[in-house]
Structure 1
Amino acid sequence: MKHEHYEEFKTLACNQIEARGWLHHRLETLASGLSGHLDETWEDVGPESAWLGGDGESWERGPYFLDGLVPLAYLTGETRLKLKVEIWIHSVLASSSDNGYFGPSSNTDIWPRLVMMKALVSYAAIHKDNEHGAAVRALLGHFATYMQDQLTKKPLEMWSFARAMEACPSLFSLYDKTKDQALLKLAADLADHSLDWYTFFHDFPIKKPIWEYMPWQEYIDSMDEASQDEYQPTLLERDRSEELFQLYHTSHGVNIAMSFKYLAYRYKLTGDTKYLETLRNGKNKLMEYHGQGNGMYGCDEHLSGREPSQGTELCTVVELLYSLEQIMQITKDLSWSDWFEQVAYNALLTTISADGCSHQYNQQVNQISITVAKRQWYSNHDDSNIFGLEPNFGCCTANMHQGWPKFVQNLWMKDGQGYVCISYAPIQLHDQEVTITVTGGYPFSDTAKIHIHNERQTAFPITLTVPSWATSMDIIMDGRPMHASPKNHQIQLTETWADQTLEIRFGADIRIEETAQGLFVYRGPLLYALPIEAEESILVERGRFSDKEFRPTQAWNYGLLLSKRDEWTFTYQEMTIENRGVSHLPTIKAKGALVQNWGIEHNSAGKVPTGNVQYDDESTEDLVLIPYGLTTLRIAAFPALY
């Protein structure tokens, strides 16, 4: 198998990494907010969870929560969070049976156990040389045997059928430790018994919003009456309608986000580069037909096209980031880092509140109000874009916690004896005698400093990602310019490292992308948006964890004057965005005007006018655009004015 014949990047355990600067602030707000207190606030992951031996929720919510809690606890070093992790791990270990099955007996679905495997692997990496790690690896090995046996007895169904390859990261991690060939066979068999994502990405048949292929009511009507649950109507059996079953899963935003890494694992299992070619083709087709300006794709549950008032689910954001992390690790292809940065620094940053105490289910690129109202979602509910504890479905409440911790953990990876910088956000990593410290405000700054301390004073390579947006990338080591040519989106420096500092200076231009959905403004990895002043109101009172609505208190329907493009300027302003950890704010000052024929449709900003745009050219204004990720209400897809 391919795994035997090639080298890949290796991740560091999360207790080897510390976030710094604004990124440290982001983790701290999560730890003091929902991520650190969800079990005290939300009964689905509270003491009565069936995963803890109670009579409560027994499916995916406990595993999702632990999958984020483990890295967060060890990245922040908070004893309080580590103790919570131990309670969950102890309970899961105690649930293991003689045949390898583990978890609540009240729910035998394999799917949530695949999520729990990821959390267990993360924990085992931290405790790799002690009895805790050994106990976890033993449980995982027994469960792998159980899964192999079950594959011969009954077919995978529903979420397990769509997401069976979610086991692959855990199986390969366990294989690296044990060299048990049965684990590789199980990974291959799971791939063969689950949904054919290769054909989907190769053909990419869903080129329009899903309602043009599968009206939601048609899907509901296709189910038996007992399965028509108004809150989660997803239990259509394959033998009732194979076509609708396939459409449901291949249009589901989270399934697609997860499945990107499945093609990388197919490549890892077989060595066949057709999987990597189709992976790239699938990404390009997905963004061509459903791409949004923030790096995500329209999926208010299912693929919903490119219109900037359609929604994108938070679970999709964090799962896509995890897939991209896995893809770069397996392929060593750093060109994927562009997408990785765009998703994290834009889509992830905006959709969890600045204080870490609430989140949205759906975010909108053009988001002019955050209220309970009927919008043009495909299947989501009226509360889907409010900030709250459990808007729409609780899956995002449970799953949001993995996003930032895993992002931090994968900012740097190991490549043999060397290290690879995926993105330049501030962190510190410790690996035996080597300490690498990154400082600066990237991506809100054009510079980053990397200090390498090596007690052994030995030579090894440092690989630096070269972003595709960079017009230049200057590297200065201890005051001396380094001359290195980029190759395959990277620059590799091999030195005898002792105590050197690399200063990285990026050149960046304001980039304008004009599309049928509107005008987008970028600089570096950041999308820029016009922030809309808002009035906040409490919808459901829960103290720090209340549900909130936001309504605009100013006009929002601005277009940007391309005829005045030469007057646009980029500068840094001392502008404090509460709880964001960023004060020296990059801004773009542009010329704009109110658009007279652009209004509200279905309680969202209407379709961006792209022809016959009406405005008063005598009433132009200076508009200050800020990074999309630092906004709440905003316009980021603008009418173009000439």
Structure 2
Amino acid sequence: MFLVALFCALVFHVGSASLSDGDDGVDRMDGDIAGMPITLQANDKPSVCSKMCDSNPQCVCWAYCKANCSGDPSAPLCYLKDKLMPQSLNPCRVSGVKNATLLPYAFKPLPTGAVKPQGWLKEQLQIQADGLSGHLALFWIDVANSSWIGGKGDTGLHERTPYWLNGFVPLSYQLDEPSLQAQVHKYVDYILEHQSSDGWLGPEDDKDGNMYWSKFPMMLALLQYHEVNSSDTRILPAVMKFLHTARQKMFTVPLSGWSQYRWEDMVLSVHWLLENGNTGEEQFLWDLAEQAKQQGFDWKGYYEGNDFPTGSASSLSMANHGVNVGQSLKSGAVWYRQSKDDADRNSSYQRVERLFKYHGLASGTFGADEHLAGNMPSRGTELCTVVEGMFSFETLFAVIGDPMFAEQAEKMCYNALPATLTPDMWAHQYLQEVNEANAVHIDHHVWASDGPDSILYGLEPNYGCCTGNFNQGWPKFVSHIFLQSPDGGLILSMIAPCVVTAMTSDGSKQMVSVDTMYPWDGGVSITAQSSSPFPLYVRIPSWATGTSATINGGKPQMVEAGQLFKVQCSGTTKVMLNINMTLRVERRFNQAASIYKGPLLYGLEIGENYTALRSYDFNSKDYQITNTTPWNYALQLDDDKHPEMNLEFMYRGLQSDQPPFSITGSPAMIKAKGRLLPDWQLDLGSAAAPPASPVTSNQPVEDITLLPFGATELRIGEIPTLKPTGREG
């Protein structure tokens, strides 16, 4: 009974000290260096043991045995260990880890709200706010009547309101819109005011290891809220109190299910607190992150091992689940900051290479119609997978600093994200297809396990998780456009119209504005202002060979593609970039061609007919979309190295009162020629795999149009090509 009482008391005592004071109530058994234990003086505190570990080259972690505690010796003991041993609860022990400091970000993310969208990007976020995002709290049961605010919605995983807030918090502050912020305050106030006495946040009706999962996106939302409301003193104590009770539970009910496979999102929040929280409980936070990693799924082993599918997954396991995989891409980099093990960093490259080799799609995402599905372009990708993949690549760039990661995030954002939303953002799909000939109810379908409504556009087709989770896509993209460099500068990581305001360590204010019609056009005007000199780094896309820059009206200079271009700014500095956007061809499934200009994938325009199937409140409807023009064309493309021989790019700029990601509002298009392929038909309701290129057809040559992939609801993005016979038609 004595030990039970002591263990219960740990709820209030574990993690109440800084690094040198250790983690009270936590032991690290075994792994002792020879000659242990060391007997200490009667009044020696755990910090003495910590200092002994610091001065011993062999020591990795330490454990302090309290004197006169449950039969222990009358003097405290110190155990130094040469291995990082697992944690266990013991009220008579205090333990700690040597060098428990995180590696710095390569490029540090700026606080939420530091980057404000401008131009077409601000219009895009306003469309999101005027669509589902700004109305879910007014009518969708899983937000409006959520269990997080005492209602009956968002049952089960309790993830939909946290998903929504994780994107809606930054959206409301990036737009500086009080009505949206009022919605945020309502939810944050209720959640904090109804935190349980033991610290638990939100509903508490799960008793297994899956109960932690929904709290991960909620913590991300609350910490973003704190970044724009730092004077609100409720947030950090509430999150810390929750983490204390969560950790207590984790000793007896370890992570399982979604929690186990998404542990990196918990670690992200814990690391944020380690760097920004000033909690005085650094060892507790360090140990909690370590505990989450140890209980979490071994993603590094999965990507390196034989269980990773090299085609459509035969096992519908949690490891093969597309959203889990999208989130896992960042887990090695997230953990690298704590492990300091280059193998974790390097694993990020291996994951990306292997995933996109076997499952990559032309739109920048990967095939996962619930589970990994290979790279056939009519297999689907879940919207949650798109936004989680984007956030992973944004995080990878911040941690590692390789421009390829920012480029991939940008590619997903400008192609896969808008392609699965209607232009007014009142409806979305659960699954999108690169080759999408229609968007209808299909009972017998090509995707493996999702339901027949998965490619409809609507409020919550198939399953409602994406209705909550899509909200983070554009706002998180905005938050990561600029980051801070370790030399006091700023990094323009992804190109879009915006303005950023940042402060240097000496209190100088930096302001940089970007004016551009990128991704449709390569002209970028950058104006930097500061009272103190600072470096500005601009990511030049890897495909942009021949790009030039002009600084303060000087002579144009060529800049290297795939690198960060450095500009030393002082006072007011003006940079004009001319990003060279040549037409490019990428051969994909069955040698089908994907056509790119700049970061944009262009797909065959297909006539679209909307039919409303169900209506909800406001402008929310479920739609099926059928094609009104043929989709089964082969493209005339005589030379992949010179696609301009057959393709004519046309830029017309923004269209009045039309969203840029729409058929009627797209600023750009490509005119081409093709022939119908009558034998290429539907298979299981979707476009069959494209026939192996080159193909022949006796049909007449026709004029066809290619539109930016993200401007379409129906399209063919991987197009078979005709056998070259010289220019026809």
TM-score normalised by the chain length of structure 2 = 0.79
Matching of residue 513 in structure 1 with residue 586 in structure 2: yes
> Matched residue of 2:394: which SS?
helix
Name the structure 2 match of 1:114.
216
Contact 1:25–1:581 (CA under 8 A) maintained in structure 2: no
CA distance in 2, matches of 1:332, 1:426: 22
Matching of residue 196 in structure 1 with residue 266 in structure 2: no
Q: CA shift at 1:485, angstroms?
A: 5.5
Moved more, 367-376 or 171-180: 171-180
Contact 1:577–1:630 (CA under 8 A) maintained in structure 2: no
Contact 1:118–1:170 (CA under 8 A) maintained in structure 2: yes
Matching of residue 429 in structure 1 with residue 505 in structure 2: no
Which letter maps to 1:581?
P
Q: 1:451 aligns with which of 527, 532, 546?
A: 527
Name the structure 1 match of 2:715.
634
Matching of residue 80 in structure 1 with residue 159 in structure 2: no
Matching of residue 380 in structure 1 with residue 450 in structure 2: yes
1:429-578 aligned within 5 A: 429-432=500-503, 433-454=509-530, 456=531, 458-481=532-555, 483=557, 486=560, 489-496=563-570, 498-517=571-590, 518-542=592-616, 544-563=619-638, 565=643, 566-573=645-652, 576=655
CA distance in 2, matches of 1:601, 1:577: 39
Which letter maps to 2:122?
H
Q: 1:418 aligns with which of 489, 496, 502?
A: 489
CA distance in 1, matches of 2:130, 2:306: 42
Q: For 1:149-190, what per-residue CA distance to the aligned partner results, in whole angstroms no more than 9, with x for missing partners?
A: 222112222111111221122111111122623212211111
Contact 1:428–1:435 (CA under 8 A) maintained in structure 2: yes
Name the structure 1 match of 2:69.
none
Structure 1 pair 147–584 and aligned structure 2 pair: CA distance change class (3 A):
closer
Which letter maps to 1:27?
L
CA distance in 2, matches of 1:424, 1:397: 27
Q: CA shift at 1:391, angstroms?
A: 0.1
Which letter maps to 1:330?
V
CA distance in 2, matches of 1:56, 1:595: 48
Q: CA shift at 1:113, angstroms?
A: 0.8
Matching of residue 608 in structure 1 with residue 690 in structure 2: yes
Matching of residue 49 in structure 1 with residue 146 in structure 2: yes
Q: 1:585 aligns with which of 664, 667, 682?
A: 667
Contact 1:360–1:386 (CA under 8 A) maintained in structure 2: yes
Q: CA shift at 1:486, angstroms?
A: 4.1
Q: CA RMSD in A?
A: 2.0
Q: 1:390 aligns with which of 443, 450, 460?
A: 460
CA distance in 1, matches of 2:633, 2:619: 34
Q: CA shift at 1:612, angstroms?
A: 7.3
CA distance in 1, matches of 2:191, 2:111: 21
Q: For 1:581-601, what per-residue CA distance to the aligned partner results, in whole angstroms no more than 9, with x for missing partners?
A: 375722222221111221111
Q: 2:267 aligns with which of 168, 173, 180?
A: 168
Identity level (%): 31
Contact 1:95–1:104 (CA under 8 A) maintained in structure 2: no
Contact 1:171–1:183 (CA under 8 A) maintained in structure 2: yes
Name the structure 2 match of 1:349.
418
Contact 1:371–1:550 (CA under 8 A) maintained in structure 2: yes
Name the structure 1 match of 2:436.
367
Which protein, 1 or 2, shows the higher relative CO under an 8 Å CA cutoff with sep ≥ 6?
Answer: 1
CA distance in 1, matches of 2:511, 2:320: 44
Contact 2:496–2:516 (CA under 8 A) maintained in structure 1: yes
CA distance in 1, matches of 2:660, 2:630: 28
Q: For 1:369-403, what per-residue CA distance to the aligned partner results, in whole angstroms no more than 9, with x for missing partners?
A: 11111321111111111110010000001111011
1:237-256 aligned within 5 A: 248-256=317-325
Q: For 1:115-171, what per-residue CA distance to the aligned partner results, in whole angstroms no more than 9, with x for missing partners?
A: 11000010011122x1x1x31111111222222222211222211111122112211
Which letter maps to 2:690?
V
CA distance in 1, matches of 2:352, 2:653: 38
Contact 2:659–2:666 (CA under 8 A) maintained in structure 1: no
Structure 1 pair 369–144 and aligned structure 2 pair: CA distance change class (3 A):
same
CA distance in 1, matches of 2:306, 2:111: 36
Q: 1:31 aligns with which of 113, 117, 129?
A: 129
Name the structure 1 match of 2:9.
none
CA distance in 1, matches of 2:183, 2:715: 37
Structure 1 pair 579–14 and aligned structure 2 pair: CA distance change class (3 A):
farther
Q: CA shift at 1:575, angstroms?
A: 7.9
Matching of residue 598 in structure 1 with residue 696 in structure 2: no
Q: CA shift at 1:208, angstroms?
A: 4.0
Name the structure 2 match of 1:227.
none
Structure 1 pair 533–198 and aligned structure 2 pair: CA distance change class (3 A):
same
Q: CA shift at 1:522, angstroms?
A: 1.2
> Matched residue of 2:426: which SS?
coil
CA distance in 1, matches of 2:543, 2:100: 33
CA distance in 2, matches of 1:557, 1:140: 54
Name the structure 2 match of 1:264.
333
Structure 2 residues not aligned, in runs of 5+:
1-98, 504-508, 724-729
Moved more, 92-101 or 350-359: 92-101
1:77-226 aligned within 5 A: 77-107=176-206, 109-128=211-230, 130=231, 132=232, 134-177=233-276, 178=278, 180-203=282-305, 205-211=307-313, 213-214=314-315
CA distance in 2, matches of 1:31, 1:279: 34
Contact 1:355–1:579 (CA under 8 A) maintained in structure 2: no
Q: CA shift at 1:487, angstroms?
A: 8.8
Contact 2:547–2:558 (CA under 8 A) maintained in structure 1: no
CA distance in 1, matches of 2:513, 2:166: 26
Matching of residue 62 in structure 1 with residue 62 in structure 2: no
Structure 1 pair 136–308 and aligned structure 2 pair: CA distance change class (3 A):
same
Structure 1 pair 482–176 and aligned structure 2 pair: CA distance change class (3 A):
farther
Matching of residue 21 in structure 1 with residue 119 in structure 2: yes
TM-score normalised by the chain length of structure 1 = 0.90
Higher share of residues assigned helix: 1
Q: CA shift at 1:563, angstroms?
A: 2.6
Q: For 1:10-49, what per-residue CA distance to the aligned partner results, in whole angstroms no more than 9, with x for missing partners?
A: 2222322221122111100111110000111211111x31
CA distance in 1, matches of 2:307, 2:658: 43
Q: Which structure is larger by alpha-carbon Rg, 1 or 2? A: 2
Structure 1 pair 96–482 and aligned structure 2 pair: CA distance change class (3 A):
farther
Contact 2:691–2:720 (CA under 8 A) maintained in structure 1: yes
CA distance in 2, matches of 1:208, 1:7: 32
Which letter maps to 1:421?
L
CA distance in 1, matches of 2:184, 2:679: 54
Which letter maps to 2:702?
E
CA distance in 2, matches of 1:36, 1:603: 34
CA distance in 2, matches of 1:488, 1:612: 31
> Matched residue of 1:81: which SS?
helix
> Matched residue of 1:562: which SS?
coil
Name the structure 2 match of 1:71.
170
CA distance in 1, matches of 2:692, 2:310: 20
CA distance in 1, matches of 2:237, 2:328: 27
Structure 1 pair 612–29 and aligned structure 2 pair: CA distance change class (3 A):
closer
CA distance in 2, matches of 1:484, 1:414: 25
Which letter maps to 1:404?
W
Which letter maps to 2:492?
C
Contact 1:2–1:271 (CA under 8 A) maintained in structure 2: no
Moved more, 337-346 or 94-103: 94-103
Moved more, 189-198 or 324-333: 324-333
> Matched residue of 2:604: which SS?
strand
Q: For 1:451-485, what per-residue CA distance to the aligned partner results, in whole angstroms no more than 9, with x for missing partners?
A: 1122x2x1111011121110122111221136476
